[in-house]
Structure 1
């Protein structure tokens, strides 16, 4: 029989040695700052995280403490334990894996006011959230790159400070929140915000095993585990205990590990030569190297420890621009180590040219240069703000700029208001404040007596992202080469901007007898780079097919993310010559253009007509779409990007 507590043994996981090493190092020394695991689905990421918690030894906790404080620590105790100190009763508890759901609200993550206690007793009481449960445990975030931005901000603050500060709904509270942060993501599903990416101490890129014999061993072990989990776990217990003891020995040895000045110079030199931003990489590499030395039973860090630490610490910090490859240059790192070792061996009087080891002003990592494609190249977007008119749509999204008021419950609570109709998202703090002046006049058994006129609802705010879909004519008509050059430059530029602002950009190409989605809406620069190498050109002009495909893509996007702001950019000369059925190709295109306008999709038509005799067909399509119209010959790629930013909402 399969029991809920049966966990696949950590030692039984086949392969993925670097991932297992990164997890073990964080278990030995949580100050490393967690690990980000990037890779395909089904590569034992979540299995390893849960197995790690089961592997680690039981820990001492204060009996009855909500946060599981350490009774041996004088610092980092919660408020209740501080009041009881030093009379703290101790007990043991197993380390747990606390999962942070992608759909978690801010209330659920940071904690909130205990509504039932406030109503019955008339007192404020804090109700702990996920961060409280995560203290001294493992916080596991699957698909961390898909987290809402305001949740990411809260997670960043708690991970950096080891404390959770709450100022909301009339509650002021602080509690410890020191945890091992484990995040997983698939790069093709979107990039991680750079601010959060750098917060992860270590990063591991994993992929499926390609050796047939090893894959067979994976199957065998999994089958044995599912057939008889208790027997399988018992079989691997000696290896588990051996690894557990090794981790405990490393934890005890870690405070005595020495990182010499020579090793510190080597760490600094590597970071300089690899052109890593900031100093977090240096500090994390030092901690990781010391932990590696402790894991191997040594009390001093050597060059091999530094090199091993660099491969875990630097891989996600090398990239300075989004379109460069994120890969470690091992040869360059080895040269940096050799250079550092040679500098140590030189006599003091040989160091006459002090600028030899200094970083050059324009030093850049190998992966930082902007990738240049066959047609077009990325450029810096004009960052001047574009004034946007106010808009209220079917989802009651209103506001200016990057943040908008939302009626959903997944935004950040910013203020309260009197509700038009009573809903589930009640602002308890504002409601109690509204009822407070009338308590003497009201009768009842509750500590706080609330009437319907006192009710206030929460006003939430969240970041709104644009979904910009380029629908591009790739037929063989004159000017196709220029179209591709300008549009590709604009798409690459918008993707660089999306990397920072959570916008999504897609590409539909129509030619021949139909249309295809060349690039689905994405903020993943990795996936974009793959599909943007070349664009197909040639054939007839199925304009109606392209518009219909673009409409379908935006409809699906709004079903997945109803807060997205859809925008369509059509690049064509309007000379449709392929119909949807037996009708006129141009009439078919106009009919679909009307549907696009009726669904409230903001659009822009860029006319690529270049013949001496202008037919103005693209202008007719623009009128039916209710779109802004502009000629391609008046634009550069940068101009397209600026115009897209200014499409009316």
Structure 2
């Protein structure tokens, strides 16, 4: 039996460690370029394990996707062109509350298991007993369970021998495809994985024919992470929906069998009896009760579904990626998953090199070689060293790395009486919750100011907690007057306070209001006071979006005026749905100083 290698990929691993790099020691001693393999080479024909895989940097995810798709790791760097096999089983663990995996990588995982706590007291006691026994005497514990290990190992070996003989019939294949269709699974990888998994389960059970229980168990493993779900909804498989899919397949199968039997009986009937009842078949066909019941049930279910959708607490939607490009040369230590910035850590992608200004912590060997190469002839004449390469201190170069950081987003919401219209607040909450969810998954800091009555209130200091944000929004009351200037001022002060702690954060302010300010600071014009604060926000170089909730034939256009003072992007309430508001945030965060639109990678659009 071949020993399967198990290689762990830490989430803080560098790109060099994952794909491999040049052997520095050999290069200095012999002058030869020799490739030193990385973790992907070590995991070939083995298992690559990643703990907290959803926190893995995106540039490492791209490397894994390429290797997983082609089964080969191609390295083109530091003057080396090299490729090697990289066929591995990818195993990962994660906490979904800390953010989701990219869909491309998520689909690469064939199966998924939802780990839950054990509710049975006896079982929990047994877990504790076994753990304590292992800690007291590991060797004795392993010996005690050696027999069970051998039994399982033997069962697996026999299943591997039996697997080529396992047959999955046409009906089981129809069941697999029916389940995938009912669960609205994208692509066909789920169907293929379920096919292979069901056959494997049958072989492990010592059978050569796949049954519907094998398909059901395979679906529970293959569809858990592939089914479409709403944000804030925990990853779990709907067992009722799975049972309905199996029952639907069973009904179709029974119906086909009955039709085949009827056709066979009809062929066996004498022609004279068929002539006596010429109109029976059409009448029976049109009067079949099963299709009638199905058609009657369908509208009822849709009607019930429609009633549930009228409730105001609608779930948010997934939003497209938004990113604030960082064009400065500042080295940041923050973490996140949105905007790219230079970093002083070793976990980012190597993008450039520079002359070090102090102690070197991350040597750029390729750049150092290029700096030293022109002087080698003269140095060898002056030195007695036998090294193939002579490097001076002033040849040394340090790596410049790039990684993603989070952004700072402040929502300023109007909760006055003019916002009491149900449709307005539902749309507002829906859009804000959607962006909050995206911000949480991208490691953004998000805050919220609400103004109504006579004052503004910071209901959500800058945080990553989606649950807290959802709670605050769902319980948000409406009514009273509109202290707009108070809301803008509190939002500005909160952002400034945060910027004093983290001066390199990238802030964005989102105002949602009708602009009809009627509460002032010092008995001045409330609207003019709001415009004055808006000019302060613009002067602080804080990007903004203003969403106008004003409706009707007669409008004052106050939000547009305030937005003009903010120097931000203006949207009307009708444009509040996901597409417009998300694209507006993208546009606001994507503007450079010269108003050039850029995408997430910093490319011009």
Q: What TM-score do the two structures reach when normalised by structure 2? A: 0.69
- In the alignment, which residue of structure 1 is the partner of 2:222? 313
Cα drift, residue 216 of structure 1: 3.5
Q: C-alpha displacement at 1:139, in angstroms?
A: 2.4
Q: In 2, distance between residues paired with 1:576 and 1:137?
A: 68
CA contact (8 A) 1:605 1:627 kept: no
Distance 1:161 1:527, change over 3 A: farther
1:347 correspondence with 2:287: no
Q: Does 1:448 align with 2:389?
A: yes
In structure 2, what is the equivalent of residue 510 of structure 1? 450
User: If the length of structure 1 is used for normalisation, what is the TM-score?
Assistant: 0.65
Q: Deviations over 1:67-88 (max 9, x none)?
A: xxxxxxxxxxxxxxxxxxxxxx
Partners of 2:354 and 2:538 in 1: CA distance: 34
1:231 to 1:545, Cα distance in 2 relative to 1, 3 A: farther
- Which whole-Å CA distance do the structure 1 matches of 2:436 and 2:56 have between them? 19
- Listed as ranges, the matches of 1:191-202 within 5 Å are 191-202=100-111
Paired residue for 1:468, among 391, 394, 409?
409
Secondary structure (helix, strand or coil) at the match of 1:239 reads helix
Shift of 1:111: 1.6
Report whether the alignment pairs 1:479 with 2:423. Answer: no
1:332 and 2:244 are equivalent in the alignment: yes
Deviation at 1:447, TM superposition (A): 0.7
Q: List gaps (5 residues or longer) in structure 1.
A: 1-58, 61-92, 357-365, 580-584
Shift of 1:194: 0.8
Change in Cα spacing, 1:227 to 1:393, as seen in structure 2 (3 Å) is same
Secondary structure at 2:113 match in 1: strand
* CA distance in 1 between partners of 2:114 and 2:419 (Å): 42
Match of 1:374 in 2: 312
Distance in 1 (alpha carbons) for counterparts of 2:478 and 2:329: 37
Corresponding position: 1:205 with 2:106: no
Gaps of 5+ in 2: 265-284, 286-290, 292-301, 593-605
Aligned residues: 523
Structure 2 distance, partners of 1:170, 1:494, is: 43
1:411 aligns with 2:348: yes
Q: How does 1:569-584 map to 2 (within 5 A)?
A: 569-571=510-512
- CA distance in structure 1 between the aligned counterparts of 2:116 and 2:33, rounded to whole angstroms: 49
Cα pair distance change 1:533/1:251, threshold 3 Å: farther
How far the C-alpha of 1:641 sits from its partner, in A, is 3.5
Query: Which secondary structure does the structure 1 equivalent of 2:355 belong to?
Result: coil
Matches of 2:128 and 2:499 in 1, distance apart? 41
Partner of 1:81: none
Distance 1:533 1:249 in 2: 56
Secondary structure, counterpart of 1:488 in structure 2: helix
Aligned position for 2:86:
177
Larger radius of gyration: 2
Distance in 2 (alpha carbons) for counterparts of 1:125 and 1:98: 23
The answer on 1:391 being equivalent to 2:300 is: no
Q: Is the alpha carbon distance of 1:639 and 1:497 closer, same or farther for their aligned partners in structure 2, counting shifts above 3 Å?
A: same
Is the contact between residue 574 and residue 607 of structure 1 (CA under 8 Å) also seen in structure 2? no
Check conservation: 2:40, 2:86, Cα contact below 8 A.
yes
Q: CA deviation at 1:173?
A: 2.5
Tell me, yes or no, if structure 1 residue 146 matches structure 2 residue 55. yes
The CA distance in 1 between the partners of 2:93 and 2:473, in whole Å, is 26
What SS does the corresponding residue of 1:271 show, helix, strand or coil? helix
Any idea what the Cα deviations from partners look like across 1:364-398, whole Å, max 9, x if unmatched?
xx9x9997761788679799x99x8873264389x
Measured in 2, the distance between the counterparts of 1:608 and 1:516 equals 21
